Amino acid sequence: MADTLSHIDASGNAVMVDVSAKDVTARIAIAKGRVLMAAETARLIARHGHKKGDVLAIAQLAGIMAAKKTSDLIPLCHPLPLDAVEVKLALADDGDAVDIIATCKTSGRTGVEMEALTAVSVTALTIFDMCKAVDKTMRLTDIRVVYKDGGKSGTFQAD
């Protein structure tokens, strides 16, 4: 683990990290998250019975769009040309959650962890927004990077 924050200079000012000297490499990041909900809400989503439309399809599209806008949302985040963004959603086997997995790929000088996390977060937020009228108990949980590869730091695989 680094002993200093890369986005803070010696004077304590916020800075965008200078990546111009880094090599361009293939990079990938995978993030996951979960939206916990009442079992009836999950059944409504599964039946495509929501009056606002197909919750999972709309949330998937929102996540893909969000990944492309990450640098507009996160201060000091580099704008990246994304080569691929994939968002997968599945109703959990236990019947009371939607599981989200986002994969982002680029060839660049910095990683795509923030894009993958943004995709998962906005996907989860969209599910919440679409279903909040029928379930105010929903919770967004376990949003995290589970895999990244590329660049000098190499591969990270979560436990």
Hey, which residues are catalytic here? 129
Q: What are phi and psi of 153, to 5 degrees?
A: -75, -10
| Burial class of 99 by CB neighbour count within 10 A (0 to 12, 13 to 18, 19+) | middle
C-beta of residue 140 within 8 angstroms of C-beta of residue 22: no
C-beta of residue 139 within 8 angstroms of C-beta of residue 36: yes
| Burial class of 116 by CB neighbour count within 10 A (0 to 12, 13 to 18, 19+) | buried
Q: Please tell me the distance from the alpha carbon of residue 157 to that of residue 159, in angstroms, as a whole number.
A: 7
3-state helix, strand, coil in the chain (%, to 5): 30, 30, 40
